[in-house]
Structure 1
Amino acid sequence: MADVVTVTPAAAGLIRSLRGRHGPLMFHQSGGCCDGSAPMCYPAGEFRTGSSDVLLASLTVEGVPEPVDFWMSRSQWELWRHTRLTVDVVPGRGGGFSLEAPEGVRFLIRSHLAGPVEEAVSDN
């Protein structure tokens, strides 16, 4: 699933900052009522994933020594599997449990439909 999830330069900067304060990080996107389209950022391993989750990407962010895993609930991925996701950051209040909440910004998912070649890759 190459390039299913990417990050904007602004999101990469926030990830570097959060990594410096909290250690290794992870994202989880549930699509539930509490977080909607906002991926939640946690210290790595703090959010327990299981068989109802899919690891979409291990993001490489310049200046962060380890990959940042991006997880999504399996049911949400079934709905979004024909899209490519970009993690961005915008002004506003983040999710209550997400690490960026006190920063005055929040992570946000931007998506676009995958082209035919991208769809073939994600179907394998």
Structure 2
Amino acid sequence: MSILEEDNFIKYDLYKSQLSKYTIPQLKKILLSKQLPTTGKKDDLILRIKDNLTGDDLKELSLPLKYILTEKGQKELSENAYVPYMHQTSKKTIENNPFGKDFTVWSMNKELAKTGLDWQILVKNYEDQQHNK
């Protein structure tokens, strides 16, 4: 079990609620395993699975489970939106910067605690400083 799961930030999605994340070939494979028709559009396949298979049936197929954010995880992510923002590209995070301050999630945490500024203001200030060099 991961720390994020232990701390209730993420959880495994229920099998039936994650069916829309599967590809058509994956859905057809599920249907074939129970000798059910594989014709129709993706929504038809999903409905056929939901109508004919139980969660236990799906569990027996050893499908890959997908994680989803819990309410606590969604709240944490919205309060710390700079973390995924900074990880979107290597240009957002700079460690061991020989030309100035490091700019990492950890340094951002310290700046936020120290200044109380909005994270977007801090990121913009940093990016403006880097651009003007």
What TM-score does the superposition give when structure 2 sets the normalisation length? 0.21
Higher Rg of the two aligned structures: 2
Q: When you count helix as a share of all residues, which structure comes out higher? A: 2
What TM-score does the superposition give when structure 1 sets the normalisation length? 0.22
Considering Cα pairs closer than 8 Å and 6+ residues apart, tell me whether 1 or 2 has the greater RCO.
1
